Structure 1
């Protein structure tokens, strides 16, 4: 499932393989953008992807996020079991990168 939306002037593009993005996950993505916006006001696009690597008992969930800002974009990815905690971990990684860029 893929979907695109405009949230507070930021283009969000979400891609997922064999996964439906429900309203609660969409809200978590918006919350992540709100958190990132505290560290830079120049976000023009956010790409989020959800995928599963492997199969059966060895399957691992992967969440990645690219934040489009002037200059080089920031990107983070995390692997684990559950989508929402992974999304929060990715957001925290991106916050650290944005803080470094501001220094």
Structure 2
């Protein structure tokens, strides 16, 4: 899992050749802490097909605002520089994988 900043967001996410799941999170958000280990697992298991990244929305509010992020955690799936799916709130791993499987081959 990679940590993003405003300086490398465009390069790491918008210009990526693979789908990128971006976790918009904050330090004060308990559900963000709950979902972090799940995202680490997904990154380890599917890293060859999906890049998982996190962006602290308080440190980089301009990026969160650009994508209309209002609640935390918000997970945006980017493909070819575009958001193709948005998931708001913590979810169990199986639900996350199910939601992503419409866009990423996770078999």
* TM category, shorter: 0.3 to 0.5
- TM-score, normalization: structure 2? 0.38
Report the structure number with the largest CA radius of gyration. Answer: 1
- TM-score, normalization: structure 1? 0.39
Name the structure where strand makes up a greater proportion of residues. 1
Structure number with greater CO (CA < 8 Å, separation at least 6) is: 2
